[in-house]
Amino acid sequence: MTATKYAQWKIFLAFAMIYVVWGSTYFFIHKALSGFEPFLLGAVRFTTAGLLLLGWCYYKGYRVFDRSLIIRAGFTGLLLLFVDNGIIIWVEQFLPSGLVAIMSASAAIWFIILDKPNWKANFGSLPIIAGLFMGFFGVVMLFGDQVANAMDTGQQQVNLWGMLLLIIGAIAWTAGSLYSKYFGKAEKTAGNSLVNTAWQMTAAGAVFALTAFARGEIGRFQFSEVPAPAWWSIGYLVLFGSLIAYSSYIWLLQVRSATQVSTHTYINPIVAVLLGVFFAGETVTSTQLTGLVVILLSVLLVNWEVYNLSALFSGKGMPRTFRGSARIRSKIRTGAPATAGETMENQLGD
């Protein structure tokens, strides 16, 4: 029972990391761009995080140099970090962060379309389908004003190219996540998940560095011209955005369905809005408040079966806890002994 509670807390904290921390990265990426060009920013962030995590894994005695693991992790890292994050960083130079958040949120819908092993479960569940589309609509409501401004005819062509790139990034993120979940696994050795994550970031950081060099970003970089907020932002992105939140994301893909994990794309914009309210003096309109409520309801719908809400509202069943208790009470009345599994199920529920 203690192990079960510990696992539940780990899942809760991991979701908190990808919900809250990743929601704040839009803000800190924008701050970091004041001192770093886009691909140099990605190179510094992911190379630093990857090497730090590799060093920690080596110190702990984990098997770091596994050729097959490195190849799989490198491919995943390129899709998740270089393609998707690279596009987000680059596009944030000329597109409003709200529009970037909306297009990134489309990843949750792509998970439904591309997650073939779960097509039956996803397309057969009305709450999941409704929740995903409701969440996307809520994000649009949240950033409705920024969407209207982004449709200015003077910037229309640039905006269209930016949105197309963000769609490609969302598909790459989805594909990389599903590859990591179904094909990117290695044997379950000590620290395997951390080593896998470390090589993903290191590989992406290396490609970011090569791209930054080819674009001349490294040659133009002036250490003395980087403002202090940009350095603090880089530190935050490395420690919280990559080492903690990204590691949590890769781990969650192994223990929860990809559809549930993808709900972070709806919560992240809420965090971005709250940061704007508290640190940039922005105001929240009634439409945005409605969007917040819609997003939270959408996440509830996506997790409908996890919370066993069908049993509560249909009247045709009970949550697992009560079902277990009822079976045991029935056996007591008839004089039949309860099985060990039923006893443990009842204890976990209590």
Average pLDDT over all residues of the chain: 78
CA-CA distance, 195 to 64, in Å (whole number)? 6
pLDDT over 70 percentage in the chain: 76
- The per-residue pLDDT for 280 is 64
- The per-residue pLDDT for 348 is 39
Q: Residue 111 above 80 pLDDT?
A: yes
- Residues 39-65 have pLDDT tens digits of 999 999 999 999 999 999 999 989 899
- DSSP for 203-269, written as a single string: HHHHHHHHHHHHTTHHHH--GGGS-HHHHHHHHHIIIIIIIIIIHHHHHHHHHS-HHHHTTHHHHHH
In whole angstroms, how far apart are CA 327 and each of 203, 279, 342?
53, 54, 8
- Residues 201-230 have pLDDT tens digits of 999 999 999 999 999 999 999 998 999 999
Helices and strands in the chain: count of H runs, count of E runs = 21, 0
Helix (H) or strand (E) holding 88: helix 86-91
Phi, psi of 280 (to 5 degrees): -120, 5
CA-CA distance, 80 to 201, in Å (whole number)? 9
pLDDT bin (cut points 50, 70, 90) of residue 237 is very high
CA-CA distance, 252 to 259, in Å (whole number)? 11
Orientation of helix 107-114 relative to helix 156-182, angle to 10°? 50
pTM of the model: 0.75
- The per-residue pLDDT for 344 is 36
**Greater pLDDT, 239 or 277:** 239
- Residues 128-149 have pLDDT tens digits of 788 878 888 887 777 776 666 6
